Structure 1
């Protein structure tokens, strides 16, 4: 097995998602994931502390990109406009591999209580990152929390629609996340 081949992290993620989908999360071992990815177990542990953490591969990057996009939004941007800037920034980093893994990851998460729990923690982490970035812009705490939660929901809805859509479509992930955010904004107006 190759030790430091390029793309080992990505191969581990793909192998894990495939195995989780094929045989279930509980039945999948780290050794199987490493073997499918063509790496050693020790290489697996260089990238992930355990198999559960594969679900949140890239969470730090997502949080950083969301935060940067919010921070760099125009000075007069509303909280939701700043969140939209964060969604655009993070969407630009999502490529074909992310789109391809979406439906399989969704199925694996749906089939495992442990993965559903980890997915919920990932959402909380993204919301905290956006809330912190909004507060740094001077957005009041309750408004920042609400805008961040809407941003997480828009990202999840947009990502799901994008990954489930026809691969021939011209629309990128930003199209779906921004449409979801706009839909949620309109929905909040109907709550009164």
Structure 2
């Protein structure tokens, strides 16, 4: 095997997702993942600490995109508009990746350990969002409440996007995640305004 080959992390992630889909998460080993990618176990562990983290590798990038988008919202933007900018950034990060997200979500949904890790990831996004809102001058507890609401909108929209659960004629395949996020934020605003 060559000492270095391009796109190593991507190859490992693709191999892991394929094997998890074929054999299940629990029955797949790191050795199998590395072999499918044409790499060694040692190479795998240079990139990921265990077989779980290969599914959550993009978490830091999502957090960064979210925080930067909230910070980059115009200075006079309302907290809701800054939240919308953050959600737009999350939606954009998944653009063109719906098939991958659906396969990944099926693996996560089948394994409690992975579901717990997914909740940790969502909690981390919520913390980043609350922190970004506080940096914009949004005081507590409003910043935390907005961040929790934003995380709920993200979770719901993502579930619809990967699950094809949209009730209208247009399938979720045709609707970008960003549009579902905006729709969710609007729905939340309407629900709060009418109660």
Provide the TM-score with structure 1 as the length reference.
0.87
Secondary structure at 1:6's aligned position in 2? coil
Cα separation, partners in 2 of 1:37 and 1:189, compared to 1, 3 Å? farther
| Distance of 1:141 and 1:35 partners within structure 2 | 50
Residues 136-178 of structure 1, C-alpha deviations (whole Å, 9 max, x = no match): 1111121111211222222233333334455863x43321222
Give the Å deviation of 1:14: 2.1
Q: Distance in 2 between matches of 1:31 and 1:129?
A: 35
Residue in 2 aligned with 1:183? 187
Partner Cα distance (2:70, 2:185) in 1? 14
Residue 183 to residue 76, structure 1, CA distance change in 2 (3 Å):
same
Please identify runs of 4+ aligned residues in structure 1 that moved more than 6 A: none
User: Match for residue 132 of structure 1?
Assistant: 131
1:110 and 1:167 mapped to 2: Cα distance?
19
Residues 112-131 of structure 1 deviation map (CA, whole Å, 9 limit, x = unaligned):
11101101100011000001
- CA deviations on 1:43-87 (whole Å, 9 max, x unpaired) are 211211111112221111100100011011122222221111012
Give me the whole-angstrom Cα distance separating, in 2, the residues matched to 1:54 and 1:78.
Answer: 37
Q: Deviations over 1:15-35 (max 9, x none)?
A: 222222222211111111112
Determine the structure 2 residue equivalent to 1:15. 15
Structure-2 change in CA distance of 1:185 and 1:162 (3 Å)? same
Counterpart Cα distance in 1 of 2:152 and 2:8: 30
Contact kept in structure 1, 2:158 and 2:177, CA below 8 Å: yes
Aligned-pair Cα RMSD in Å: 2.0
* Alignment TM-score, normalising by the size of structure 2: 0.86
Aligned residues of 1:102 and 1:159 also touching (Cα < 8 A): no
Instruction: Return 5+ residue gaps in structure 2 as ranges.
Output: 165-170
CA separation of 1:85 and 1:51: change in aligned 2, threshold 3 A = same
Change (3 A) 1:78 1:8: same
**What are the ranges of 5 or more consecutive residues in structure 1 without an aligned counterpart?**
none
